[in-house]
Amino acid sequence: MSAQPSRTSIWAASARAVGSRFDEPRRNPDSLADKLMGREERAMIAGHPLANVLDNDTPENRQSPEVQSAAMTLIVRTKFIDERLVRMVRAGATQVVIMGAGWDTRAYRFADILRGLRVFEVDQPATQDWKRRRATEALGPAPANLVYLPIDFRTQTLADVLASAGYDPRQKTLFIWEGVTMYLPEQAVRDTLHWISKQAKGSMVVFDFAYSALIDQIARAQLGEQPEGDRAKLVMDRLRQIAGWGEPWIFGVPTDESAKYINDLGLEHRETLGMASIEAAHRYLAWTEDRPFPAPIRQMYAIAEAVVPA
């Protein structure tokens, strides 16, 4: 048995799993996540409200503010990325690189449209080994075009690891960087985005991020400052739990300056969507009113799309 995987990767997959049980049109399209979250995986986040729903799916447990927040956020995130995956395949992309892949299921869910493309999943060995084993048990053999690439960021670079597996920097590629940047030092984020900017023209990167104001708020809370409001307290409590898992949030894009941040690194910013925005709720949560969606979806958290300019 390999070492334990990242618990935040289990958290994200559990949020997708719970959201996949919701009724349409407010449903997470990742129905395979529910199959991956077995007894051992749920035990790793025991006590978290998401684990409670996976084990005992009652209306009362579903109404937990943390369950609603996590599930709705991951619905937005999953649908946003899925849309861009389909768009890039139709636009002629031949490679998909999923960085910090965790429990990503897109190679399985989109097996038909990805046939003929190469899909690279890059992650730390402990998480990747566990995911591979569990995916084989729950979903069957991996698609033939899926390449698992373990990486040790202390001694290896993304470029070297991909090159060793046949990645071609001349081919149009979609880079998916989901649920990763907030855990990394700023220089690692900058270096990765700058490297992507040097890849084939028309390539795209989709990544989510916290704003620096949230990282500052976390730092103040660690010094004893109490956040105001029930929603803020909920977010801080959950972030403290993540820090207790050894995976604290440490990086944020300058608040409200994502376009400049991305463009300055050599990419062309296309869109930033706030996870808690009315637009996100309209687009992905079937919300029709001009007021915030009535669930504590995370504030100061967004997802962006950028391309390698022609």
For residues 269, 274, 275, 280, the Cα torsion angle rounded to the nearest 10 degrees is -90
Strand order in the sheet with 95-99: 146-150, 118-123, 95-99, 173-177, 204-210, 301-307, 268-274
**DSSP letters spanning 209-263:** EEBHHHHHHHHHHHTTPPPSSHHHHHHHHHHHHHHHTT------BPTT-HHHHHH
What gap in Å lies between CA 77 and CA 56, rounded to an integer?
25
Q: How many CB atoms lie within 10 A of CB 210?
A: 24
Q: Supply the pLDDT for residue 123.
A: 97
166 CB contacts (<8 Å, ≥6 apart)?
118, 147
Q: Supply the pLDDT for residue 238.
A: 66
pLDDT-derived band at 149 (thresholds 50, 70, 90) equals very high
User: Residue 136 pLDDT more than 90?
Assistant: yes
Q: Which residues of 67-79 are buried (b: 16+ CB within 10 A; e: fewer)?
A: bbbbbbbbbbbbb
- φ, ψ for residue 120, nearest 5 deg: -110, 125
Q: Supply the pLDDT for residue 1.
A: 40
Q: Which two tokens mark 174? A: 């979609």
Average pLDDT of span 162-191 = 96
**Domain edges within the chain:** 91-213+244-307
Q: Supply the pLDDT for residue 38.
A: 96
186 CB contacts (<8 Å, ≥6 apart)?
251
What gap in Å lies between CA 299 and CA 203, rounded to an integer?
29
75 CB contacts (<8 Å, ≥6 apart)?
19, 22, 26, 27, 28, 284, 285
pLDDT-derived band at 4 (thresholds 50, 70, 90) equals confident
**Helices 230-244, 212-222: crossing angle, 10 deg rounding:** 80
Helix and strand totals (H; E) in the chain: 15, 7
> Which H, E and C letters describe 248-283, residue by residue?
CCCCCECCCCHHHHHHHCCCEEEEEEECCCHHHHHH
Average pLDDT of span 159-187 = 96
User: Residue 256 pLDDT more than 90?
Assistant: yes
Q: Supply the pLDDT for residue 244.
A: 78
Q: Which of 139, 140, 72, 146 is nearest to 116 (CA)?
A: 146
Three-state DSSP state, 303 = strand
Average pLDDT of span 91-115 = 98
Return the half-sphere exposure (C-beta side, CA atoms, 13 A cut-off) of residue 18. 31
Q: What value does the mean pLDDT of the chain take?
A: 92
Cα 223–chain centre separation: 28
- Which comes out higher in pLDDT, residue 202 or 241? 202
- 192-205, pLDDT tens digit by residue? 999 999 999 999 99
pLDDT-derived band at 180 (thresholds 50, 70, 90) equals very high
pTM of the predicted structure, to 2 decimals: 0.94
pLDDT-derived band at 232 (thresholds 50, 70, 90) equals low
Second-level CATH architecture of 91-213+244-307: 3-Layer(aba) Sandwich (3.40)
